[in-house]
Amino acid sequence: MNLREYHDRTKHSVASVNANRHMLDWANQPLPFKIYSGLEAIPLPRPLRPSSVPALEAIAATAPRQPLQTLPDVPTLARLFHLSAGITRTKRYPGGQEMHFRAAANTGALYHIDLYLVAGDLPGLPAGVYHFGPHDFALRRLRAGDYRRVLVDATAGTPAIETAPAVVVCASTFWRNAWKYQARAYRHAYWDSGTLLANLLAVAAADGVPARLVVGFVDGMVNDLLGLDTEREAALVLVALGDRPELRPPAAPPRPKLVVSTQALSREEVDYPLIRAAHAASSLRDVAEVRRWQAAASEPAALPTPSAETIPLRPLQHPPAHSIDDVILRRGSSRRFARAPIAFAQLSTMVHASTRGVPGDWGAPDHPLAQPYLIVNADEGLAAGTYAAYPGLDGLEPLRRGDFRREAGFLDLGQELAADAALDVYMLSDLNRTLGRLGDRGYRAASLEAAIVGGKLYLAAYALDLGATGLTFFDDDVIRFFSPAADGKDVMFLIAAGVPARSARGG
């Protein structure tokens, strides 16, 4: 099976949704945490060291203006972990049940993405391989010693990995999301990594920590280093943190098989072979395949060009000065939107801040793999209708004018959220071209990039005291709706934004 087939087989349609008889087994709901048994907790410091960097500046950044922390310390790591994957608030229900909300949006609030740290000696932390536990805000050491060389070898000597004092690895335990979403959970692995990484990249930029994403690596080497059960979980993307060429890693210590135990997630786990088949198809088996990926990725993606004159964006000259910390801690998922307009300057600011580029190894940031398509329902300075965004031009190409609230409400699986929102942003990708250029690994890059842009837009909305929420969609109906402009493309991500019907804190 290839990723084109996987994507097609996991599309939503009216027929597929109506035919699906999947019921949620609440008694078998998996834990939202990976909990290691018997490993000593290394508490991370609280309170967090605050940042005053304006949120919109941090969101738009593709790199720190001034790299201040080329060797991240433990308080910086604590900020990165907490503001990307940490618990930001807890809701308690009668009877003692608790719901923990995290810093980044996640499909179904199921939180299946885990963060690992592979580091050399850092200020306050000895070299090792660690797992971050959000449930108690602590690290647990899986291996002692400097194993960064394993990641250098796995990435065929990627420079950002070789000079990084620390590397964060995002991994998914598929069952924690498939419990609700079945085989579509493999899409969500990249959606949810992307929204998490939008937070992490913004915090890293605010804190002056160079950060670069790497999806080209030998899967087996990274999974083995982390001790992952590859029938159930897998590494998805690496994040190189810092830049210290003089601290290149030495040869790695011996790497015996990790023997660790973790708490059972649920009474039983249901296997979805389509997920494993998709991950196997997009995996790189050896360094030679990584080098072929790198050669293909070095050629920039085709840059979309408008067929008509674009409307220039007009971002706010003096936006709200909320800090990135404040915005992340306030962010929720809006459950209702007021049918109220937003200003064109607000729309412009959100699109501009979210589309400056993603610092990844899959091509130039100014040649994106995913492009925003908009349904504008209510904007004080822009006619209602549909538009395509062109990040390189900072402009919008008008596609069709008209009131499309009813269509928006249908396209998001018949929910009212997209109909009520002032703005719906669909991230569309020329998936066939991407897979033809980058192979099946390109699916990871396209999915991840679309979700990171969506995550940045999510944060930008809250930075403007608006609300936002991620939604799912009827795949082919979205493409038909935006065609002919969207002919041959695939929808990868959807986010709705607007004036919340209650406080922008969401929840």
Domain ranges, ordered by start, for the chain: 25-297, 311-498
pLDDT number for residue 470: 96
Q: Which residue's entry shows tokens 């050896």?
A: 286
Query: pTM here?
Result: 0.96
**Structure token digits, residue 94:** 């009668």
- Residue 506 banded pLDDT, cuts 50, 70, 90: very low
pLDDT number for residue 149: 98
Window from 41-50, 66-75, 89-98 with minimum mean pLDDT:
89-98
366 versus 179: the higher-pLDDT residue is 179
Beta bridge pairs of residue 396: 311, 389
User: At 432, which amino acid appears?
Assistant: N
pLDDT number for residue 68: 82
**CA-based nearest residue to 105, from 351, 376, 334:** 334
The whole-angstrom separation of Cα 183 and Cα 22 is 12
CA 147 to chain centroid: 26
The whole-angstrom separation of Cα 176 and Cα 26 is 13
The whole-angstrom separation of Cα 451 and Cα 445 is 10
The whole-angstrom separation of Cα 39 and Cα 415 is 44
Tell me the residue ranges of DSSP E strands in 61-137: 87-92, 98-102, 113-119, 128-133
The whole-angstrom separation of Cα 18 and Cα 180 is 16
**CA-based nearest residue to 165, from 79, 255, 43, 77:** 77
Give the three-class secondary structure for 390.
Answer: strand
**CA-based nearest residue to 86, from 119, 47, 40, 38:** 47
Torsion angle defined by CA atoms of residues 230, 231, 236 and 241, in that order, rounded to the nearest 10 degrees:
-40
**Structure token digits, residue 358:** 């993603």
What are the tens digits of pLDDT across the range 390-443? 988 899 999 999 999 999 999 999 999 999 999 999 999 999 999 999 999 999
Cβ atoms of residues 220 and 289 within 8 Å: no
The whole-angstrom separation of Cα 444 and Cα 441 is 6
Q: At what angle do helices 431-438 and 441-463 cross, to 10 degrees?
A: 130
Cβ atoms of residues 63 and 164 within 8 Å: no
Q: CA triplet 445, 107, 266: central angle to 5 degrees?
A: 110
The answer to whether domain 25-297 and domain 311-498 are alike in fold is: yes
pLDDT number for residue 64: 87
Cβ atoms of residues 146 and 129 within 8 Å: no
What's the mean pLDDT when you consider all of the chain?
A: 95
The whole-angstrom separation of Cα 184 and Cα 10 is 6
Torsion angle defined by CA atoms of residues 343, 348, 353 and 357, in that order, rounded to the nearest 10 degrees:
160
- Residue 308 banded pLDDT, cuts 50, 70, 90: confident
pLDDT number for residue 212: 97
**Structure token digits, residue 37:** 């048994």
Name the fold adopted by 311-498: NADH Oxidase (3.40.109)
Please name the CATH architecture into which domain 25-297 falls: 3-Layer(aba) Sandwich (3.40)
- Residue 507 banded pLDDT, cuts 50, 70, 90: very low
pLDDT number for residue 65: 77
- Residue 93 banded pLDDT, cuts 50, 70, 90: confident
pLDDT number for residue 90: 87
